[in-house]
Amino acid sequence: MSETEAPVVVNNFLRDIVSADLASGKHKEIVTRFPPEPNGYLHLGHAKAICINFGLVEEFGGRCHLRYDDTNPAKEEQEYIDAIEADVRWLGFDWGRHLYHASDYFEQLYLWAETLIEKGLAYVDDQTPDEMRLNRGTLTEAGKPSPFRERAVAENLDLFRRMKAGEFPNGARTLRAKIDMASGNINLRDPVLYRIIHTPHPRTGTTWCIFPMYDYAHGQSDALEHVTHSLCTLEYDDHRPLYDWLLEQLPVPARPRQYEFARLNMTYTVLSKRSLTQFVKEGHVDGWDDPRMPTIAGMRRRGIPPEAIRDFVKRAGVARANSVVDIAMFDAAVREYLNKAASRYMAVLKPLKVVIENYPEGQSEELEAVNNPEDPSAGSRKVPFSRELYIEQDDFMENPPKKFFRLSPGMEVRLRYAYFITCREAIKDAAGNIVELRCTYDPATKGGNAPDGRKVKATMHWVSAPHAVNAEVRIYNTLFSRPDPGADGDVVKDLNPNSLEVIADAKLEPVLAARNEKTTVQFERLGYFVRDSKAKGLVFNRTVGLRDSFAKAQ
């Protein structure tokens, strides 16, 4: 089956849940949310969560909130907040007026923490983080109650208020839920609800020095926003009992449900903000938007269209079983979209000069070239042709093996949109390298067909030498040299030393320089490329290669 006919498998158990809840009347409309923590740039895994949350609402109606899970001022930055919004929009989703922050709820969350204390369901613990860890127990052993667990309500309230007032240093005390130190679920062994962090918060400044933990803030934020389906990844599966416990104990205005789906994992790719941050900070890549990064910003700079990302996420499906998607499936989704959408141009990456001996010196002409054979509405353009051309070094062999049908001495081939040419001689330098081909053309084959019906076995791309513009072309390979980076413990060790190949002197069809094209284009027979958005000169990034060159396909 060809790539373009691949079936789109849409496996999504969350759609079934939502559709049943609407059918039964449990909900009149659904409310979902995408809740990033602004401590890094969004990556392809987040794109999956974004597509799921916004996608359900696109399909079933309702609304999807963008909510910053900004509960840890020590790790969060405004740069990340801005990037997240730009990235979600670029993917094609809109939260309308529903932009929220967990920090919007700090006051209410604080009051509810007092409610828990008053109900005897929370206490201030003076244990150090190490003591708490030791006393938490293990999967097979119950935890030990804190010596502060039985503090009176009044003392807890007083200490919690003094924590809020800034009387204690970082780590001196925490507020913990009083649930069950012997629970089989470690998340229920008196989880920490609040900790002291004396770091200014991007939004609340120094108003707060106690901050709610994710597990405490999340469900209550969902309830405050009347979220119906709170969708998260599988690692939160055993946090759900705590999510539910808190909602049961507190006078919340709504009762959201949490559902978990499998994270997106992909071969040759690391989707962990912590590791991606490390690559940026240690300089293994050129920033968060390095085109080799699986960040949305990196993919955008590499020329990957948002439609292809959305299509890929849909094909990868939404399931509860963890799996690893083959990166080839991602590339196929990108190619499939670009094959339909991208305009074609000619570019020569490794140039070999060709002189057409019987084409008059000083003459040139403009030939008609189709912009996109997949899309007649894309029209055509003029490509200059002259006596001196460039072709790809790889398209010539002096002593070709049997199945090599491209150019070799005596062989006739078609130059795309131009003429048939025949190679007469290969000129070498003193060291024996081929530096130039002498060819002749058949003027009767203009446009690429011979009136006598004779056939050639190859069609090659080319660029007119006096008209060509020089460009740098960056070819990206996978960022890792093994499909399962980090499997031996160290992802940095698995970085691919050949993930970037720079071609300094590619020759492009002149219109590529004139037109400040921001969209991804096809260089015929080579792949898809996009003008780099940051480089000053003419630099193109390879988005993805073509699976087959048309020399083979035709």
Positions marked active-site: 37, 263, 273
Instruction: Choose between 48 and 387: whose C-beta lies nearer to ligand ATP.
Output: 48
Residue 125, SS3? strand
Residue 329 burial by Cβ neighbours in a 10 Å radius (0-12, 13-18, 19+): middle
Minimal distance, residue 136 CB to ligand ATP, in Å: 22
Minimal distance, residue 406 CB to ligand ATP, in Å: 43
Instruction: Choose between 101 and 461: whose C-beta lies nearer to ligand ATP.
Output: 101
Minimal distance, residue 42 CB to ligand ATP, in Å: 8
What's the number of CA atoms in the CB half-sphere (13 Å) around residue 415? 33
Minimal distance, residue 433 CB to ligand ATP, in Å: 48
Instruction: Choose between 231 and 389: whose C-beta lies nearer to ligand ATP.
Output: 231
Contact 246, 220 (CB under 8 A): yes
> Which residues of this chain interact with ligand ATP, rule CB under 6 A?
35-37, 45-46, 48-49, 69, 232-233, 263-264, 271-274
Instruction: Choose between 288 and 390: whose C-beta lies nearer to ligand ATP.
Output: 288
3-state SS of 77-107?
A: CHHHHHHHHHHHHHCCCCCCCCEEEHHHHHH
Position with the least CB separation from ligand ATP: 45
| Cα angle 542-547-550, degrees, rounded to a multiple of 5 | 100
Residue 132: C-alpha distances to residues 101, 171, 211, 452, 523 (Å): 29, 11, 18, 88, 60
Contact 244, 179 (CB under 8 A): no
Closest CA to 145 of 134, 135, 158: 135
Q: Give CA–CA dist 34/70, Å, rounded.
A: 13
Minimal distance, residue 69 CB to ligand ATP, in Å: 6
Instruction: Choose between 69 and 509: whose C-beta lies nearer to ligand ATP.
Output: 69
Minimal distance, residue 309 CB to ligand ATP, in Å: 13
Instruction: Choose between 36 and 143: whose C-beta lies nearer to ligand ATP.
Output: 36
Helix, strand, coil percent values for the chain (each to nearest 5): 30, 25, 45
State the DSSP H helix or E strand holding residue 367, giving kind and residue range, or none if neither: strand 364-370
CA end-to-end span of the chain, whole Å?
17
**CB contact set of 135 (below 8 Å; sequence gap of 6+):** 127, 143, 144, 145, 146, 181
Residue 7 burial by Cβ neighbours in a 10 Å radius (0-12, 13-18, 19+): exposed
Instruction: Choose between 422 and 478: whose C-beta lies nearer to ligand ATP.
Output: 478
Record the tokens describing residue 399, joined without a space.
């002593």
Minimal distance, residue 273 CB to ligand ATP, in Å: 3
